[in-house]
């Protein structure tokens, strides 16, 4: 975060007894101060647990300030926790009694095993990883033994009361929050079916939600968790009042590239085994991207494979060989509307935004050409990517492609490309024509597409403009291979 933001951390000393209202005033005054210094820039507030209650409260009381909230397992349901239930019992104990019970310590500082893993380097052998982890854990033991002297029963009781008052105040102000909100939920208490994160998502007007089912309560302290990557992936990084998908884009880092294509998409790429061929100026076809221009602006125009499964291979190939971001002009479904519900669980799709995709529009295309970008465009759009049975490799391009005049105006190099292979090892068993005859699926598809009326190709008539979003059911056939050929 420090590479992009001026990071300030709000620390509450162990022996501090400032009530919630006082803490809220301190944070609020600082936010107002920063807003006065830079009124045209957004202020990002990251609130973890109790900090989430503070962040919600500040946003509710200051709707005129441009705030972006990231709430990590906010403690808005803390009044219902088991510790709050035993608070009367804890109050009867001596205030100087050390807190040494493992469950109570874990509640306060998180899982020590997860903390120890943070200092372990990636890429080590299993034996080296185990040794590093053991050393890290051993170095923490003296610190854990000292916690009993620092965190006493009086501190725990005060913190529980503070949590309760903060949660009550934040819950009473949810309706007044106007800021953008990103909810990050992990740990059993924050995931369905308990519903706390889902409740906040439905209550807060302008919010996005991501679940992390395989991580513990202390999400920010977990090994390998990168908050900036998440913010970029959900398209919530911006420099001004409104997000500019072209100019606010931050290129992926090397670690993000390795994580995405070396881990998340590793099996996917191994199955597809993509091969890229390109055409040199003399007409010779060579393996690799040597025939592709090195500088933009360049517009790549091609055929959309089923479910757009070729896009990750294209993005990785250009990054690996040309060291260039391929900016895909993508359907609005990736950025607005009901699709956000799907992304809560399938947040892997966030890689699309993190690696440069923008909503397809003439304005965004104009900006990318102006910046000499490499732009990826599919004239066939969703209709091509979600084609029906018997339509393998069939083009659904409009009679008057929208990109031609703009490309000519900027002197853009247009590179046509073809892609084959995907339809050879995936078979459609239930397409749109089948699904629209099934009552439940028909209603679900209709509801899902309501948000996108008029956004894409509302002037294109016939089948080429039939951009109905749905998910065809497919079965794998004999494993094949994905081939790309870039023309002159």
* pLDDT tens-digit map of 52-61: 999 999 999 9
344 pLDDT more than 70? no
Residue 183 near residue 130, CB atoms below 8 Å? no
- For residue 188, the model assigns a pLDDT of 67
SS3 of 72, please?
A: strand
Of residues 170 and 479, which shows the higher confidence score? 170
Name the range with the highest mean pLDDT among 76-80, 246-250, 357-361, 392-396.
246-250
Tokens at residue 225, please? 């968790």
Q: Which residues contact 282 (CB under 8 A, 6 or more apart)?
A: none
One DSSP character per residue, 176-234 reads G--SEEEEEEESGGGSTTS-HHHHHHHHSTTEEEEEETTS-S-GGGSTT--HHHHHHHT
Share of the chain above pLDDT 90, in %: 47
Question: CA–CA distance from 269 to each of 255, 263, 477 (Å)?
Answer: 18, 10, 17
Q: How many other C-beta atoms can be found within 10 angstroms of the C-beta atom of residue 30?
A: 14
The H or E element containing residue 473 is: strand 473-476
Tokens at residue 234, please? 């959900």
- For residue 465, the model assigns a pLDDT of 54
429 pLDDT more than 70? yes
With cut-offs at 50, 70 and 90, classify the pLDDT of residue 43.
Answer: very high
- For residue 149, the model assigns a pLDDT of 66
- For residue 338, the model assigns a pLDDT of 53
Please give the average per-residue pLDDT across 83-87, as a whole number. Answer: 65
| Residues 83, 80: Cα–Cα separation, whole Å | 8
SS3 of 345, please?
A: coil
315 pLDDT more than 60? yes
* pLDDT tens-digit map of 183-240: 999 876 666 556 788 889 989 989 999 988 877 777 887 777 899 999 999 999 999 9
Residue 473 near residue 429, CB atoms below 8 Å? yes
Q: What integer best gives the mean pLDDT of the chain?
A: 85
* pLDDT tens-digit map of 396-427: 888 777 777 888 888 999 999 999 988 778 88
Helical pair 126-150 and 102-109, crossing angle rounded to 10 deg: 100
Residue bearing tokens 């053991």: 134
What is the chain's percent helix, strand, coil content, to nearest 5?
A: 45, 15, 40
Residue 52 near residue 181, CB atoms below 8 Å? no
Please give the average per-residue pLDDT across 381-405, as a whole number. Answer: 86
Stretch among 291-300, 316-325, 358-367, 447-456 having the lowest mean pLDDT: 447-456
- For residue 154, the model assigns a pLDDT of 77
- For residue 60, the model assigns a pLDDT of 98
SS3 of 376, please?
A: strand
Question: CA–CA distance from 421 to each of 303, 424, 485 (Å)?
Answer: 12, 5, 12
Ordered structural domains, the chain, with CATH: 20-97+152-233 (3.40.50.1820), 254-486 (no CATH)
Stretch among 87-101, 256-270, 276-290, 432-446 having the lowest mean pLDDT: 87-101
pTM attached to this predicted model: 0.84
Q: Is the bond into 164 cis (omega within 30 degrees of 0)?
A: no
70 pLDDT more than 90? yes
Closest by CA to 273, choosing from 231, 217, 312, 302, is 312
- For residue 25, the model assigns a pLDDT of 98
Phi and psi for 284 in degrees, rounded to 5? -70, 140
456 pLDDT more than 60? no
With cut-offs at 50, 70 and 90, classify the pLDDT of residue 172.
Answer: very high
- For residue 146, the model assigns a pLDDT of 65
With cut-offs at 50, 70 and 90, classify the pLDDT of residue 285.
Answer: very high
371 pLDDT more than 90? yes
Please give the average per-residue pLDDT across 86-110, as a whole number. Answer: 64
- For residue 112, the model assigns a pLDDT of 63
Closest by CA to 99, choosing from 142, 140, 146, 143, is 146
* pLDDT tens-digit map of 108-141: 666 666 666 666 777 677 787 788 878 876 776 6
Closest by CA to 338, choosing from 447, 470, 207, is 447
| Residues 47, 474: Cα–Cα separation, whole Å | 42
| Residues 96, 116: Cα–Cα separation, whole Å | 28
Of residues 482 and 121, which shows the higher confidence score? 482
Q: Considering all CA atoms of the chain, what is the largest pairwise distance in Å, rounded to the nearest integer?
A: 87
């Amino acid at each position: 975060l420090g590479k992009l933001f001026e990071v300030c951390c709000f620390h509450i000393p162990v022996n501090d007894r400032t009530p919630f209202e006082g803490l809220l005033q301190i944070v609020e005054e600082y936010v107002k101060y920063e807003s006065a210094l830079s009124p045209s820039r957004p202020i990002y507030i990251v609130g973890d647990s109790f900090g989430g209650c503070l962040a919600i409260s500040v946003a509710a009381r200051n709707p005129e300030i441009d705030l972006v909230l990231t709430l990590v397992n906010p403690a808005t349901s803390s009044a219902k926790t088991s510790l709050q239930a035993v608070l009367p019992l804890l109050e009867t104990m001596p205030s100087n009694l050390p807190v040494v019970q493992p469950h109570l310590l874990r509640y306060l500082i998180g899982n020590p095993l997860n903390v120890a893993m943070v200092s372990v380097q990636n890429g080590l052998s299993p034996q080296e990883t185990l040794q590093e982890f053991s050393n890290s854990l051993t170095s923490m033991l003296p610190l854990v033994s000292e916690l009993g002297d620092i965190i006493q029963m009086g501190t725990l009781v005060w913190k529980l009361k503070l949590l309760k008052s903060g949660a009550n105040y934040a819950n009473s102000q949810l309706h007044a929050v106007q800021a953008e909100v990103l909810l990050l939920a992990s740990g059993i208490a924050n995931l369905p079916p308990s519903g706390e994160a889902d409740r906040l998502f439905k209550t807060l007007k302008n919010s996005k939600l991501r679940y992390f089912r395989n991580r513990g309560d202390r999400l920010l302290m977990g090994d390998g968790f990168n908050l900036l990557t998440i913010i970029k992936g959900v398209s919530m990084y911006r420099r001004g009042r409104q997000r500019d998908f072209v100019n606010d884009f931050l290129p992926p880092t090397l670690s993000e590239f390795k994580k995405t294509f070396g881990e998340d998409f590793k099996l996917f790429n191994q199955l597809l085994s993509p091969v890229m061929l390109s055409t040199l100026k003399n007409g010779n076809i060579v393996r690799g991207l040597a025939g592709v221009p090195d500088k933009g602006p360049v517009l790549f125009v091609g055929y959309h494979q089923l479910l757009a499964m070729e896009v990750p291979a294209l993005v990785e190939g250009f990054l690996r060989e040309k060291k260039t971001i391929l900016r895909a002009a993508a359907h609005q479904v990736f950025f607005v509307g009901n699709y956000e519900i799907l992304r809560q669980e399938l947040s892997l799709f966030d890689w699309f935004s993190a690696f440069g995709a923008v909503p397809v529009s003439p304005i965004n295309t104009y900006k990318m050409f102006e910046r000499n970008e490499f732009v990826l465009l599919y004239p066939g759009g969703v209709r091509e990517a979600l084609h029906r049975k018997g339509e393998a490799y069939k083009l659904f391009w409009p009679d008057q492609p929208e990109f031609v005049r703009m490309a000519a105006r900027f002197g853009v190099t247009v590179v046509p490309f073809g892609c084959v292979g995907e339809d050879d090892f995936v078979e459609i068993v239930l397409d749109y024509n089948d699904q629209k005859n099934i009552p439940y699926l028909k209603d679900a598809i209709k509801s899902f597409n309501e948000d996108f009326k008029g956004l894409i190709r509302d002037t294109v008539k016939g089948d080429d403009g039939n951009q109905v979003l749905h998910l065809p059911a497919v079965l794998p056939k004999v494993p094949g291979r994905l081939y790309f050929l870039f023309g002159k």
